[in-house]
Every structure is written in C-alpha cells, then in structure tokens.
C-alpha cells in the first residue's frame, strides 16, 4: 500500500501521457523529414473516412505519420476524459488506455468510436450511473467500431443514409454493451481478460448475420505492413524502457519487487497497481513489452499495426493480471501450433495470435504451464476461423476466440483440479 501512496492520480496521468507525447514527436519527425504535414493530414482524414475492418493496418492504409497521429489523438482523448471525470487510475484503466492506443494502428478512429462512446454515456445517464464508472468499458468498446465505419463508408447505402445509420447503429451498440458485457463474463468466469472482445464478438456475429440476410456481405481483409519501420520500433522500445525507468525512480526496489508479481495467477481481477503498487506495475509493463518486441523480431516478424495492437494489449494488461510466468507458456503453445500446422513462425497470423492469446494468462496461473501451452495451441487453430463469423467487424477477434476456448477448457480443467485435490485429501 505504501507504494501506491507515493504516486497520485495526476502523476499517473502525466506518466501515461508520455506515450502520446512520443507519438506526437514521431508525427513531427515524419512531417519534417519524410512525408510532409499535408500528406499526414490527408492520410489521417483518409483513415477516418474509410470502411475499416480487422487487419486494416493504418501504417499501410495511411502512412506512418498519420497512424501515429491517430494513436496520439485517441490516447490523448482517453486521458483528457478520465482527467475531466476525475476517474481513479488503476490497472484496468491502464489496460484500456493501451488497448485504445494500440488498436489506433489497426482500425480504431475517432469517427468510428465516437457513437459507441456516446451510446455508453447514454446508458449511464439512463441508469443514473456516473459515466466514469463505465469509462473503461467505453474504451474497450472501440473493438466493435468497424461496424460504424463499414455502414458509413462502404457504399451499401447513399451517403446521406449511411452516415446517420452508422452513427445510430454505433449508438445502439454502445447502449447495450454494458449489460451484455457483464453477462458474458459469466461464461468464462474472468479467465479471459479480454471479456469485452468476447462480448462484441457475439454482437459482431449477429450484425454480420443480419447484413447477410439482406445480401450485404462483409468480406474480411488483410492489409498489413510488411516491414519493420525504424521509427515505430524505436517508439515501442523507448516506451517500454521508459516505464521501467519510471518504476525504478518511484521505487528503487521495483525491479526486485517485480518478482512478487510473478506469483499471481491473474484471477480474479488482479489489479497489480493496487496489490503491489505502481512502481512494480510499471516495471512489469516495460519488461513484458520488451519480451514482446524480442519475440516478434526474434521470429523474423514485423512490428506492424496488428503486432503493435497485440503488444500494447500485453503492456496494458501487465498492470492487470499478466506477468512473464503466465504469458510465456501461452506464447509457446501458439508457436508449437504454428510448427504443427506448417505455418511460418514469422507470419503475422502466428505472431499476432501469440500476443493476443495472452488474454487467457489466468488459465496458466491457475491450472499450470501445460494448460497455458494447450490454450495457446488451440487458439491459433481457432482464431483463423472465427473472423469469418463477424466479418472482421470485431477488432478483438482474438478475445472472441479465446472466450470460446475458455468455455471449452474450463470445465475440463476444473474437473482435473477437483479430482487431484480429492486424491490428495485421501492420501
């Protein structure tokens, strides 16, 4: 508890703002030395007015500068809203913040997420609940934002119909998401940290099926950057090192104390900032981020928009349930599945699946390393197919697939654990 008292809300805001600040610096650099500011602005407008889907990599569809600007603005907006609402910053907010920033490279725009945010606000007002209580859910709701951009800009209807219709659909999704998300958590009992991804996967599947009934087919796409861009790699590495340094400044023993975080399973709702303090949590975030960078580059992969989204989801949840002990077996399981299915380990399908599969880190923490490996193995085989259920309109496809895996694995794992405990009690 003492570690928590060393840092107040305002300081946490300032620490987190370093991430958008780095991105703004990247925008300035690319504006001056590479693309020019007019090109960055045009590409930023382009990605906001495009029918984005899962695997619409803004580094490829737009430009490096416009993708960084999009991420910086979305991250800044999240921080300003939380500051205005005087929200208490903890591990779950940090997870949401990094999810928004990461997915701002892969499909999330201000335009597509705005009506969903407003829908959550409308629900809060209807239920007379302070919006700050639902702010984190609103942040995670950006995963379904492609529904808004698809309806608005794909050309299914005249533009004067499609834009209002897209806005209204987004508003309705935001309104129903809070109660729906609360209920889907019962399916996996918190073992899938990306619960909202599971919830919006179901919503996305319903919307996709509804559109198909009217012969409107949403085809998944794969527009990915196939290069390691130096400024992007530098941004990711610097941001990770930054959090390690900040953690050590707050508490010189933070690195040593980080070992305590490794004992937690990640279930239920393990907020490391409250349990072990911000210092150890920041160190954990930086270390796991560097592990992800080394994992991607070590396999010969690319730190493109999808990998950034996956990596930053790990970094964010490193303050809320993830540690090296409970994510590495899962990543190993995905790699083994890649070998077993003759899928190149350097491919985005393996790398992205490995990063996102860490959402079921509590499976490893609670049931052991082998369970984590099996979960990772199953994930690669399943996630390739679930995208066709929602047509790519759920950016959190991995969270959806992992929810299904937990529903399948959890009863078996609980039965094995119960039998083992009975056997031990008899002995």
More confident residue, 303 or 182: 303
The tens digit of pLDDT for each residue in 191-208 reads 888 888 778 888 888 888
Judge whether residue 66 has pLDDT over 80. yes
Q: In the prediction, which pLDDT does 363 show?
A: 94
Report pLDDT digits (tens) over 92-137: 999 999 999 999 999 899 999 999 999 999 999 999 999 999 999 9
Residue 339 tokens, joined:
């070998």
Model confidence at 351: pLDDT above 60: yes
User: What span, in angstroms and rounded, lies between the C-alpha atoms of 60 and 392?
Assistant: 17
DSSP 157: S
Q: What is the pLDDT of residue 2?
A: 46
Nearest to 227 by CA among 95, 348, 89, 350: 348
pLDDT of 315 higher than 90: yes
pLDDT of residue 403: 85
Rounded distance, CA 323 to CA 295, Å? 15
pLDDT of residue 427: 59
Kindly list the distances between the CA atom of residue 14 and the CA atoms of 93, 168, 207, in Å, as whole numbers in the listed order: 14, 35, 39
Structural contact between residues 100 and 78, judged by C-beta atoms closer than 8 angstroms: yes
Q: How far is CA 359 from CA 46, 68, 70, 202, 426, in A?
A: 32, 25, 25, 17, 35
Tokens 């990770």 — which residue?
240
CA–CA dist 22, 26 (Å, integer): 6
Q: What is the pLDDT of residue 84?
A: 93
Bond preceding residue 268 cis, omega within 30 of 0: yes
Nearest Cα neighbor of 415 from 423, 404, 403 is 423
High-pLDDT (> 90) share of the chain, %: 65
Contacts of 77 (CB under 8 A, 6+ apart): 110
User: Phi-psi category of 86—alpha, beta or left, where left has phi over 0 and alpha has psi -120 to 50?
Assistant: left
What is the C-alpha to C-alpha distance for residues 338 and 354, in angstroms, rounded to an integer?
10
Domains in the chain: boundaries: 2-213
Beta bridge partners of 223: 56
Block residue for tokens 């693309």: 35
Burial (0-12, 13-18, 19+ Cβ within 10 Å), 388: middle
Least confident of 145-159, 186-200, 235-249, 329-343: 186-200
Identify the band that residue 213 occupies on the pLDDT scale cut at 50, 70 and 90.
confident
User: Is the pLDDT assigned to residue 299 strictly greater than 50?
Assistant: yes
pTM, to two decimals:
0.93
């Amino acid at each position: 508890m003492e570690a928590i008292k060393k840092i107040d809300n305002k300081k946490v805001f300032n620490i987190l703002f370093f991430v958008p600040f780095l991105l703004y610096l990247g925008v300035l650099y690319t504006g001056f030395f590479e693309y020019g500011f007019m090109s960055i602005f045009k590409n930023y407008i382009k990605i906001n007015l495009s029918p984005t889907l899962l695997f619409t990599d803004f580094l490829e569809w737009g430009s490096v500068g416009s993708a960084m600007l999009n991420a910086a603005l979305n991250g800044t907006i999240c921080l300003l809203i939380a500051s205005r609402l005087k929200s208490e910053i903890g591990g779950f907010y940090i997870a949401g913040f990094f999810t928004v920033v990461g997915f701002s490279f892969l499909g999330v725009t201000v335009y597509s997420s705005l009506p969903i945010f407003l829908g959550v606000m409308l629900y809060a007002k209807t239920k007379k609940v302070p919006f700050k209580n639902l702010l984190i859910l609103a942040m995670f709701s950006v995963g379904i934002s492609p529904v808004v951009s698809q309806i608005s800009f794909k050309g299914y209807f005249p533009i004067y119909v499609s834009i209002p219709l897209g806005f209204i659909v987004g508003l309705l999704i935001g309104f129903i998401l809070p109660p729906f998300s609360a209920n889907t958590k019962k399916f996996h009992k918190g073992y899938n940290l990306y619960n909202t991804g599971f919830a919006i996967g179901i919503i996305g599947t319903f919307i996709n099926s509804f559109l198909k009934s009217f012969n409107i087919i949403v085809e998944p796409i794969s527009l990915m950057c196939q290069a390691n861009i130096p400024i992007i790699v530098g941004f990711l590495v610097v941001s990770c090192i930054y959090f390690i340094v900040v953690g050590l400044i707050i508490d010189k023993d933070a690195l040593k104390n980080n070992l305590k975080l490794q004992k937690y399973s990640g279930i239920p709702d393990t907020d490391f900032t409250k349990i072990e303090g911000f210092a150890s949590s920041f160190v954990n975030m930086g270390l796991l981020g560097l592990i992800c960078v080394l994992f991607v580059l070590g396999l010969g992969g690319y730190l493109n928009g999808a990998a950034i989204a996956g990596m930053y989801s790990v970094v964010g949840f490193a303050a809320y349930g993830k540690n090296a002990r409970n994510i590495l077996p899962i990543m190993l399981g995905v790699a083994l599945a890649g070998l077993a299915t003759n899928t190149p380990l350097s491919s985005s399908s393996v790398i992205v699946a490995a990063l996102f599969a860490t959402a079921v880190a509590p499976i490893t923490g609670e049931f052991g390393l082998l369970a984590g490996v099996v979960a990772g193995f199953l994930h690669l085989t399943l996630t390739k197919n679930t995208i066709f259920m929602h047509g790519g309109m759920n950016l959190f496809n991995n969270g959806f697939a992992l929810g299904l895996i937990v529903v399948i694995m959890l009863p078996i794992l609980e039965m094995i654990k119960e039998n083992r405990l009975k056997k031990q009690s008899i002995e």
